[in-house]
Chain A
């Protein structure tokens, strides 16, 4: 029984790969492959489910394979199956199956038909990796897949401004969640000295023993997990991304942002529950977060005057309640609530265009001029204040800007004096000196040594901040992103003694795909002239192939699980010690901003309205 688990990953993976090779004109074939993949998956699961139930629904764990192993480090792929997986798989496969059939007709003749279904399968693959994952590392792979496919689905209408802008926005919130997960992985590695599986987390003795000695470590890990969960499930303070994600075709919004994607945070909490079960403060915190979210989101849902944002906020409110249920330990209720909420919101979004004829008819026959709402009984000043705050989404969106992105941009602007030549003239020699010192560590005074990692790390962060705020040259921005990784590698190499193969592993993907990406940009520049970063250029319109190559390079460089760099990233973290919070923070920061800078380059250069075909493009606010 355990061995069959891998099938549930393999089926969507094969379907996805297969779907990539179908010519875009063959609508029928594409939809058949998608239908077949999801259909077989659903049917297979039903059979498995019956079998599993008949055998007393045991918890299954499959140690799949070890991707990388060194003395003190092991990157392990592990699969797991229990009631939580079963519920998530049931809801996910049923909804995905129905929505793929729905979309077969709905998307007929739409430009990007193939792209849509590729992305759906990719998403479904990521979803399955997450729910079947047996450890955080495996889960993280799915998490990344989900993030990218969300980005691609929101920016499905890539030649309009708003979808692209919102896709970047959502991606940046996801990125925060990713780093939460990365840091949680880092710390738990130090805590357990292994890639702990979820199965072992169920072992109370083991967890308890480890936590007793390092209680703040436990709190730190739980907090990071909570950040990841809150970002993915649109809880406070991240809530505003969800309504903004409703930019793709209605069925994709329905299934991902109405139901599956947005409940992944709940999944993460359920999965890691044994770990924080005995940390009362964390449980209270999760409960409070859910409570505040559900209250504020309900208020925001009440004032929404567009049908999709209304559904989005009411879904967030329900997920807030689910957070409370999870924190309180009512897991069956939480699972039941998740399933019901997912089905309900999906259907509500799918029928949302009908709201006009339905409500107008209702109004025509039952119009009552003005209904007294509960808020009217409040004092006017309070009522107006709350109304305005709800309409402004409690300034949450502005807060994200002010406290998160603006400081980053501010620092980046301070680095405005850097240009390509200066970067090369100053930083390359410094880097070379760094490498030389690294080779000859014995010459470095012992008192200086501890400061070097942080210093190099700061330089790396500076690189990536500059890249993120670069306004003139796309290629410059790209080079800075690449250089950042080299600084990170240098910094960590000073921090710990380890094999050079680790560095090679980490930098291999970056170097190869960095070059490929660089040449893609250079080719584009030769064809289209200079590309600034001040606006969207939409070059995918004329150069879809270059765009694809560059997208793959972007994924590789940002540590997506297609090159060894992915493992390298985790590995790098494992060489930061648990008391080096500053270094961990800097490295994490450079990873966050790095991902953002990369997606920014891709979006600005390739997405948005094509700057050279003004008459055929949608206008800015359309």
Chain B
């Protein structure tokens, strides 16, 4: 084994692979939903999740007991289950497999990750993790810290390893307990390869696996380091850190720990290894347990899908609006689904649309007095434009409890005896009369309602830091046309067209960014709604649009707004630009919106234990608002929990259905887009955005310990970029249990209204998009716009699908339904 001629270890390749597999969550302020198992996305869904499970030890589905319970309560339907088993295993084996599903017991073998490195404990009785982790995490957190510590890491402008070397060189003390590791660092003999040779030995085949084992013992920290390395701007106060530096330093600490434990005379790990551990990424063999689990999962999913599809297929013709009172554009977000339903029932002449909440305008935003730019468009897009907020003199209120002075000796002495007593009073107020304060994170502060925005660019050379300030007329026309055509709104404009972005308000919530608009990179959509309205109201833009066949009547005005999804409040922007007659209409519509918001609040409240859903809608709404500013409320809203559908088509497809806030709704009219060009753009964005949200909820729900953040109650904020349990734990990416506990882990079902052959061509245009469907990370069903037949996408082809449900149950009294049930509700047909 001593021969080192073969170079089996390619550091660059191993690190590259490692970065791919580590959690990719950005710092808290930039929280963006994504597929947690993105590294496995090149595989088919079932193969992928069971590989992730066998290799990395994740729990990727419900337990058999949970599925069986769902079967017993009828949430998994027997005909659906029979159909799935028959499809996959053949009619002859139906009974055999059904027995396995219902009664067999299985044991999952131990995962591969950690097997190699665990030999330190098994063979040598030394617990490296407990010797290394606490110090490593503390140093790492101090180096990355964004503003919690008062005395910051003294060497901050150099790379991580260099910074530590500087500290070690110029100090009377050391992070290391023994001399050798320090010497290796100072003399620069600390390439990953050299250190691994000391620790593991000459067998380079083990190196890659050792690094994986080591880094996956704290995947949260490693993932954060990899993310910051790839995207340094994500920390406002930049840091030059790399995964390589982290690994090298950790290897040094391990050598140090072993030297401390054994003296310098210990043998590398390979020496005592009884057998070669299994190759980490060797092919994973699908077990019977995996097959059984997947059958259950599909049956669980199709039990729900089938209901939805039956409902969609039986549209009622009375969905079409003749004379339009107003139109309103919302984000596709599943939280807007119920508000639109209430608007339509409050005012049957209004019309609502759904489109990604950045409304087709992509730019960076600089608030007045802001020192940085904020990206307001989907995360993968890199905008070339800058919108600036001007003309406000807003003062941010401060809260003495966050002052650094409270942590100094004499400052603390003074403050404890003065403000200390004020704290007791504040706590009292916060418990008995919660109200908005400086600690609240609210979307209303994202942009000041009274401010002006620099939207129009008059000189293309007007740029700042390489970004063009505002949009030119041409650029505006393209964006407005794109937006209107993609949602199929090209004629019959109502006098008022509302464009409603969304955001949220919460307090004591480090995950606040996850509650805002995903299409705006985890910010509120208020600026985008104002910007697109400005464009659509611009006379020159309108003239040019008319030339392109989109005639917006002169009396029609677009008006921007922001929906706070936590508080169920709407603020409108630039109301003073409305004409007199529109102002009057607007005043009337405001009442409609308010009623709809009350009812929406009531519907949401059925999930909240602390609110009595039987009360009057207006009263409930007040309590919902209080809830959003209560320190002690870990669930200000439930965010995307229970999301399961993405419907791309005309509103008539789903207008008659009660979908229980589970659907992303993207408006689209196949008649406007026979070639599928706009559809292509919609799907290109919807698959990763909605699919990403869905899968993050999916995996945070199935394994809240390793893929989610666990319960948020003990969370401790680390360096302003992450949360951990206690003071020396790993960072916890993913969603906390309070966000996912009511979520049913089902994959997103995308339903598209167009001709199957057009959809097939459309999804195949871009391999990245196609991957979502062909590997079944998102399920796809097409509804034929003329025949209303359903086609499901399987193995690259569309197959006819007949629903097992004849139709869905009608419901007349929605209110009663809402008042009596806490759980996820089936699909109902609304009787209007």
Q: Is B714 within 8 A of A306, CB to CB?
A: no
Residues of chain B within 8 A (CB-CB) of A577 are none
CA distance A253 to B713 in the complex (A): 10
Nearest CB of A to B136, in Å: 10
CA distance A308 to B401 in the complex (A): 13
Residue of A nearest to B732 (CB): A622
Q: Is B725 within 8 A of A305, CB to CB?
A: no
Q: Is B151 within 8 A of A375, CB to CB?
A: yes
Q: Is B146 within 8 A of A363, CB to CB?
A: yes
**Which residues in chain B, 134-192, are within 8 Å of chain A measured between CB atoms?**
135, 138-139, 141-142, 144-154, 156, 166-167, 170-175
Tell me which of B325-333, B414-422, B473-481 binds A. B414-422
Q: Is B59 within 8 A of A615, CB to CB?
A: yes
Q: Is A357 within 8 A of B142, CB to CB?
A: no
Interface range for B: 35 or more
**Which residues in chain A, 244-295, are within 8 Å of chain B measured between CB atoms?**
244, 246-251, 253, 294-295
**Given known A-B contacts A163-B726, A364-B372, A302 and B508 have beta carbons under 8 A apart:** no
From B53, B108, B428, B717, A307 is in contact (CB under 8 Å) with B717
Q: Is A321 within 8 A of B413, CB to CB?
A: yes
**Given known A-B contacts A246-B727, A384-B167, A306 and B719 have beta carbons under 8 A apart:** yes
Residues of chain A within 8 A (CB-CB) of B591 are none
Q: Is B415 within 8 A of A355, CB to CB?
A: no
Interface range for A: 35 or more
Contact of B720 with A by CB under 8 A:
yes
Which of B147, B173, B401, B416 is the most central at the interface, judged by chain A CB atoms within 10 Å of its CB? B416
Residues of chain B within 8 A (CB-CB) of A580 are none
Nearest CB of B to A613, in Å: 10
CA distance A348 to B714 in the complex (A): 15
Q: Is B110 within 8 A of A614, CB to CB?
A: yes
Q: Is A351 within 8 A of B217, CB to CB?
A: no
Q: Is B237 within 8 A of A369, CB to CB?
A: yes
Residues of chain B within 8 A (CB-CB) of A617 are 705
Which of B135, B512, B716 is the most central at the interface, judged by chain A CB atoms within 10 Å of its CB? B716
Which of A247, A294, A615 is the most central at the interface, judged by chain B CB atoms within 10 Å of its CB? A615
Task: Please encode chain B, from 707 to 743, with 1 for each CB lying within 8 Å of some chain A CB and 0 for all others.
Answer: 0001111111111100011111110100000100100
CA distance A531 to B468 in the complex (A): 68
Nearest CB of B to A462, in Å: 23
Q: Is A106 within 8 A of B632, CB to CB?
A: yes
Q: Is A358 within 8 A of B439, CB to CB?
A: yes
**Which residues in chain A, 606-622, are within 8 Å of chain B measured between CB atoms?**
614-622
Nearest CB of B to A568, in Å: 37
Q: Is A310 within 8 A of B407, CB to CB?
A: yes
Nearest CB of B to A542, in Å: 14
Q: Is A619 within 8 A of B705, CB to CB?
A: yes
Q: Is B714 within 8 A of A305, CB to CB?
A: no
Contact of A192 with B by CB under 8 A:
no
**Given known A-B contacts A162-B726, A247-B714, A358-B438, A364 and B171 have beta carbons under 8 A apart:** no
From B170, B174, B396, B717, A380 is in contact (CB under 8 Å) with B170
Residues of chain B within 8 A (CB-CB) of A107 are 713
Nearest CB of B to A32, in Å: 14
Nearest CB of B to A24, in Å: 16
Q: Is B151 within 8 A of A302, CB to CB?
A: yes
Q: Is A347 within 8 A of B409, CB to CB?
A: no
CA distance A309 to B730 in the complex (A): 15
From A246, A294, A360, A621, B236 is in contact (CB under 8 Å) with A360
Nearest CB of A to B742, in Å: 10
Q: Is B147 within 8 A of A351, CB to CB?
A: no
Q: Is B725 within 8 A of A616, CB to CB?
A: no
Q: Is B713 within 8 A of A250, CB to CB?
A: yes
Contact of B766 with A by CB under 8 A:
no
CA distance A162 to B129 in the complex (A): 12
Residues of chain B within 8 A (CB-CB) of A375 are 151, 154
CA distance A96 to B88 in the complex (A): 59
Q: Is A102 within 8 A of B631, CB to CB?
A: yes
CA distance A350 to B150 in the complex (A): 20
**Which residues in chain A, 581-622, are within 8 Å of chain B measured between CB atoms?**
614-622
**Given known A-B contacts A303-B149, A351-B631, A392-B135, A621 and B730 have beta carbons under 8 A apart:** yes
Residue of A nearest to B706 (CB): A619
Contact of B450 with A by CB under 8 A:
no
**Given known A-B contacts A298-B408, A302-B151, A321-B409, A343 and B632 have beta carbons under 8 A apart:** no
Q: Is B142 within 8 A of A359, CB to CB?
A: no
From B412, B413, B716, A306 is in contact (CB under 8 Å) with B716
Contact of A7 with B by CB under 8 A:
no
**Given known A-B contacts A306-B717, A306-B719, A314-B406, A388 and B726 have beta carbons under 8 A apart:** no
Residues of chain A within 8 A (CB-CB) of B711 are 110, 157
Nearest CB of B to A260, in Å: 13
Task: Please encode chain B, from 201 to 227, with 1 for each CB lying within 8 Å of some chain A CB and 0 for all others.
Answer: 000000000000000011010000000
CA distance A253 to B28 in the complex (A): 23
Contact of B29 with A by CB under 8 A:
yes
Please report whether the interface of chain B is mostly helix, strand, loop or mixed according to DSSP.
loop
Please report whether the interface of chain A is mostly helix, strand, loop or mixed according to DSSP.
helix
Nearest CB of B to A244, in Å: 6
Residue of B nearest to A245 (CB): B726
Q: Is A318 within 8 A of B713, CB to CB?
A: no
Residue of B nearest to A367 (CB): B371
**Given known A-B contacts A98-B428, A105-B633, A363-B236, A310 and B148 have beta carbons under 8 A apart:** yes
Contact of A103 with B by CB under 8 A:
yes
Q: Is B372 within 8 A of A350, CB to CB?
A: no
CA distance A294 to B419 in the complex (A): 20
Nearest CB of B to A172, in Å: 15
Q: Is A343 within 8 A of B420, CB to CB?
A: yes
From B408, B409, B509, B706, A618 is in contact (CB under 8 Å) with B706
Task: Please encode chain A, from 98 to 117, with 1 for each CB lying within 8 Å of some chain B CB and 0 for all others.
Answer: 10011111111110000000
Residue of B nearest to A294 (CB): B409
CA distance A250 to B133 in the complex (A): 23
CA distance A310 to B518 in the complex (A): 33
Q: Is A385 within 8 A of B171, CB to CB?
A: yes
**Which residues in chain B, 460-518, are within 8 Å of chain A measured between CB atoms?**
507-510, 512
From A305, A346, A356, A358, B149 is in contact (CB under 8 Å) with A305
Residues of chain B within 8 A (CB-CB) of A313 are 407
**Which residues in chain B, 386-425, are within 8 Å of chain A measured between CB atoms?**
396, 398-399, 401-402, 406-409, 412-413, 415-421, 423-424
Contact of B92 with A by CB under 8 A:
no
Residues of chain A within 8 A (CB-CB) of B512 are 356-357
Tell me which of A73-81, A334-342, A418-426, A445-453 binds B. A334-342
From B141, B145, B399, B610, A358 is in contact (CB under 8 Å) with B399
CA distance A341 to B409 in the complex (A): 12
Q: Is A101 within 8 A of B431, CB to CB?
A: yes
CA distance A305 to B142 in the complex (A): 5
Contact of A440 with B by CB under 8 A:
no
Contact of B57 with A by CB under 8 A:
yes
From A309, A317, A336, B417 is in contact (CB under 8 Å) with A336
Nearest CB of B to A340, in Å: 3
Q: Is A306 within 8 A of B727, CB to CB?
A: yes
CA distance A307 to B149 in the complex (A): 8
CA distance A497 to B738 in the complex (A): 63
Residues of chain B within 8 A (CB-CB) of A392 are 135, 173, 175
Q: Is A110 within 8 A of B147, CB to CB?
A: no
Contact of A69 with B by CB under 8 A:
no
Residue of A nearest to B417 (CB): A340
Residues of chain A within 8 A (CB-CB) of B59 are 615-616
Residue of A nearest to B627 (CB): A105
Residues of chain B within 8 A (CB-CB) of A157 are 711, 714, 725
Q: List 13 A-B contacts (CB under 8 A).
A: A105-B610, A249-B713, A306-B719, A307-B716, A313-B407, A314-B406, A353-B508, A359-B720, A363-B720, A370-B152, A375-B151, A381-B170, A619-B730
- New contact pairs (14) apart from A105-B633, A616-B705, CB-CB < 8 Å: A98-B431, A162-B729, A294-B409, A302-B149, A306-B718, A340-B416, A362-B398, A381-B170, A384-B170, A388-B167, A615-B108, A618-B706, A619-B705, A620-B129
Please provide the 5 A-B residue pairs with the shortest distance between their CB atoms, ordered closest to farther. Answer: A340-B420, A357-B441, A347-B423, A344-B420, A305-B145
